[in-house]
Chain A
């Protein structure tokens, strides 16, 4: 006798799409979330007259009506488009190295090339060559990885097989000479979480190409609007949900899931679980060690938890133009040495690379009239934050945030005169609200060896499925899609 056909642990992106897919298929489902609101990272909070977006800077994979990307197709498939509105962003980004470089790339291949050539006229052939390579790579990637061409070979798809695991830095070096040009083109690294020297070119190329072809998007009302819409559809489809209700244990008998225990001590019987709590938490915190095969323990032990972030949420009493903010997405870097910039993420020194997003540039309704909001994000590992005594936490947090603001003010000097609200989230904040080790926001590291190419994501325990960043790749599109695919696997097993 079970209470539910399936239990979902966690109402992050992966848990929400898994829940909706299951409930729509008539599977009796219970979703349990430790926080008081759905979304995980995909959430918002209110301070004064601002509702701050927590995570979303650029939504990938949407595409347009006429040229839909995979995420739009999935949301259509889930019949969610009627409840949501999306805002298309015009630019990939503006990249700034104060005093040395300032360039804006449109989300359009030809225009991006043109802008780069105008700034770097000596390197026109390298620029053409690089874009040709990225597009050729992604074409072949579609055949090999997405369409799963059974006859894929390194002869038929030479670019894919040669470049997929190459490091991004060496490809930038192959095509470009000027370090500023390499920075301008490669800057997405500081948002993806690995320096170009360790970022597989395959991952970089796909992101760069996908944002150009499918355009970056925002969600009207922020990512909470998406989380709330998904949860609402789930409830309407008959799903049950409890908030303020964490799961503290998964019960396993004879290598099969049989139920869960909540933080309050209630036991709920089920034969199937989709865990959005992450593989780390699931195997370390929720399942007793003796149920996990040696091989899986070693696999987990060999993996590296990825970055967290420091975010400064800014509410300002002026509209973006008045503050000199013209682009929604702005990367600011202090050096062309990306390894050096990356190394600052492991310290409490001023981070040398950051992303500044102003939500009202493309969506003037995002904040109240006459005001705007923005977020500055810098990736950060939790370790140095764990070493400070709790009594010095607040002081450290504000000093660190002040360093980030000082960098921001070099590019946007007027912002400092219009601040109405500021809040700061550190790796410890992400840890508190997500429950993930190190406050990781993208799951494991986005390095080659932690990528899906080397891991199949399936669970050694029957009835256990994984959804979310720790089960594949971080980011909205991948985690939303991972929930649907975990649910589909589960449904196939039920039949």
Chain B
């Protein structure tokens, strides 16, 4: 619109006058440079530089690593969240997520507790090679496996298996240390009695706090063991919790892959609605070819060609997440969950086909336009990627 037209609008010149005055007194915004990123960094720094300050043996196969900040302070987190640790293992830059097991009541350090995984690439390196004083990078805490006061309620049931105890330990420590108004019942499955991580601390806390009770379930018990044995069944849950109010409680589930399907079907039989169940994400399954939907004719060892935009070509095994093959070829993508959920590694597939197991969460329109989450995508054909 022409100036002489605008000027006929009633009230125009008054506002022009107001703007003139404001401009005369206007602050110089350049002093605000950097403010937005400083604010964001306080809550969500992109990367943390961590150092191991202490290593504690929990059981024969599990250790706790106490991590302190190398430079920055550690941002607050919600009990149940994880960090993704980056390391060079045998010359390969890779990462794995670990739940924080310490309480969010302090952020002088984050504890992570891990258990050796048979033939595990990363876990064995951490267990055997990493020493006090070693440094590495991580993402800042992330994840949705935490108590949400808006709808979870105050009656919580934690169903844990093996190293799946770690997020619960953080929650239990927080609730008991702070005297929070929540009731927790932990049902914890372990291989043998001496595999129970945090065994002593759990029983101490349970004896001191009426709002915490603990039920152990042992898969391969010694002959003298008197408690529950086998797996976490509907029977075990019912005998631990009673029959009352099962559908009002919030159930949280974290443990090895095999535990999920089993426990979920038991909860369903008990009449627990899906909305009262929280499931922690889990990384790539031990054997992807056993997953429903995997094409029969393709085996773990089949290899396909991966072509990048710059013309580079290398091979990848069908039975392994594409991200691992990329890392072995020195291509590191942004990543946090390594479970197909956080979407940081979102990549466009220009041609070819991949398999995403059910746990991978891909947006509808991302599927339509060929976006994949390489941390949970397995090649089924030769692929061309927009990297």
Residues of A bordering B, CB below 8 Å: 36-37, 44-47, 51, 144-145, 148, 150, 152-154, 160-162, 164-166, 221-222, 224-225, 228-229, 231-232, 235, 243-244, 280-281, 283-285, 289, 292, 297-302, 312, 317, 386, 390-391, 393-394, 398, 401-402, 405, 416, 418-420, 422-424, 428, 431-432, 435-437, 448-449, 453-454
What are 25 inter-chain pairs, A to B, with CB distance below 8 A?
A36-B334, A44-B363, A45-B363, A46-B341, A46-B363, A47-B144, A144-B1, A154-B9, A164-B9, A165-B9, A221-B365, A224-B365, A225-B365, A228-B366, A229-B369, A244-B344, A281-B36, A289-B30, A292-B30, A393-B76, A423-B144, A424-B150, A432-B40, A432-B44, A453-B1
| B26 CB to nearest A CB, Å | 3
Give A394 to B371 CA distance when docked, in angstroms.
32
Is A165 a contact of B40 with CB atoms below 8 Å? no
> With A224-B365, A391-B76, A422-B151 known to touch, is A302 a contact of B40 (CB < 8 Å)?
no
Measured between beta carbons, the chain B residues less than 8 angstroms from A222 are 364-365
> With A317-B273, A418-B275 known to touch, is A283 a contact of B9 (CB < 8 Å)?
no
Is A402 a contact of B346 with CB atoms below 8 Å? no
Is A283 a contact of B10 with CB atoms below 8 Å? no
> With A165-B10, A391-B76 known to touch, is A297 a contact of B36 (CB < 8 Å)?
no
Measured between beta carbons, the chain B residues less than 8 angstroms from A154 are 8-10
Selected contact of A420 from candidates B37, B274, B348, B363, CB within 8 Å: B274
In order of increasing CB-CB distance, the 9 nearest A-B pairs are: A301-B26, A420-B275, A165-B11, A302-B22, A46-B361, A225-B365, A419-B151, A228-B365, A298-B23
Is B36 a contact of A45 with CB atoms below 8 Å? no
B313 adjacent to chain A (CB < 8 Å)? no
Give A204 to B363 CA distance when docked, in angstroms.
35
> With A317-B273, A317-B275, A435-B36 known to touch, is A390 a contact of B75 (CB < 8 Å)?
yes
The residue of chain B having its C-beta at the shortest distance from the C-beta of A223 within the complex is B365
Measured between beta carbons, the chain B residues less than 8 angstroms from A419 are 150-151, 275
Give A436 to B78 CA distance when docked, in angstroms.
26
Give A358 to B42 CA distance when docked, in angstroms.
34
> With A221-B365, A428-B43 known to touch, is A454 a contact of B346 (CB < 8 Å)?
no
B88 adjacent to chain A (CB < 8 Å)? no
Selected contact of A243 from candidates B36, B44, B346, CB within 8 Å: B346
Measured between beta carbons, the chain B residues less than 8 angstroms from A312 are 150
B148 adjacent to chain A (CB < 8 Å)? yes
Give A162 to B11 CA distance when docked, in angstroms.
8
Selected contact of B364 from candidates A51, A166, A235, CB within 8 Å: A51
Is B29 a contact of A300 with CB atoms below 8 Å? yes
| B260 CB to nearest A CB, Å | 14
| B272 CB to nearest A CB, Å | 12
Is B16 a contact of A431 with CB atoms below 8 Å? no
The residue of chain A having its C-beta at the shortest distance from the C-beta of B20 within the complex is A302
The residue of chain A having its C-beta at the shortest distance from the C-beta of B147 within the complex is A398
Measured between beta carbons, the chain A residues less than 8 angstroms from B10 are 154, 161-162, 165-166
Give A222 to B365 CA distance when docked, in angstroms.
9
Give A281 to B344 CA distance when docked, in angstroms.
24
Give A301 to B20 CA distance when docked, in angstroms.
12
Give A150 to B4 CA distance when docked, in angstroms.
10
| A17 CB to nearest B CB, Å | 17
Is A390 a contact of B43 with CB atoms below 8 Å? yes
Interface of B is mostly: loop
Measured between beta carbons, the chain B residues less than 8 angstroms from A416 are 151
The residue of chain A having its C-beta at the shortest distance from the C-beta of B12 within the complex is A165
> With A36-B346, A145-B1, A285-B36 known to touch, is A297 a contact of B9 (CB < 8 Å)?
no
Measured between beta carbons, the chain B residues less than 8 angstroms from A423 are 144
The residue of chain A having its C-beta at the shortest distance from the C-beta of B364 within the complex is A221
Is B23 a contact of A299 with CB atoms below 8 Å? yes
Is A301 a contact of B36 with CB atoms below 8 Å? no
Is A437 a contact of B149 with CB atoms below 8 Å? no
Measured between beta carbons, the chain B residues less than 8 angstroms from A449 are 15, 18-19, 22
Residues of B bordering A, CB below 8 Å: 1-2, 5-6, 8-12, 15-16, 18-19, 22-24, 26-30, 32-37, 39-40, 42-44, 75-76, 78, 107, 144, 148-151, 273-275, 334, 341, 343-346, 348, 361-366, 368-369, 371, 386
Give A51 to B33 CA distance when docked, in angstroms.
35
Is B368 a contact of A228 with CB atoms below 8 Å? yes
| B360 CB to nearest A CB, Å | 10
Give A289 to B366 CA distance when docked, in angstroms.
40
Give A144 to B5 CA distance when docked, in angstroms.
9
Q: A47-B144, A284-B30, A437-B36 are in contact. List 10 more A-B contacts (CB 8 A).
A: A235-B348, A298-B26, A299-B26, A301-B27, A302-B19, A394-B76, A401-B150, A422-B150, A428-B43, A435-B36
Selected contact of B33 from candidates A150, A285, A418, CB within 8 Å: A285
Give A145 to B5 CA distance when docked, in angstroms.
10
Measured between beta carbons, the chain B residues less than 8 angstroms from A448 are 11, 15
Give A434 to B315 CA distance when docked, in angstroms.
37
The residue of chain A having its C-beta at the shortest distance from the C-beta of B73 within the complex is A390
Measured between beta carbons, the chain B residues less than 8 angstroms from A224 are 363-366
The residue of chain A having its C-beta at the shortest distance from the C-beta of B276 within the complex is A420
Measured between beta carbons, the chain B residues less than 8 angstroms from A386 are 39
Is B32 a contact of A402 with CB atoms below 8 Å? no
Is B148 a contact of A45 with CB atoms below 8 Å? no
Measured between beta carbons, the chain B residues less than 8 angstroms from A280 are 29
Measured between beta carbons, the chain A residues less than 8 angstroms from B32 are 284, 437
Give A418 to B151 CA distance when docked, in angstroms.
9
> With A161-B10, A298-B23 known to touch, is A398 a contact of B149 (CB < 8 Å)?
yes
The residue of chain B having its C-beta at the shortest distance from the C-beta of A200 within the complex is B11
Is A244 a contact of B366 with CB atoms below 8 Å? no
The residue of chain B having its C-beta at the shortest distance from the C-beta of A37 within the complex is B346
The residue of chain A having its C-beta at the shortest distance from the C-beta of B279 within the complex is A48
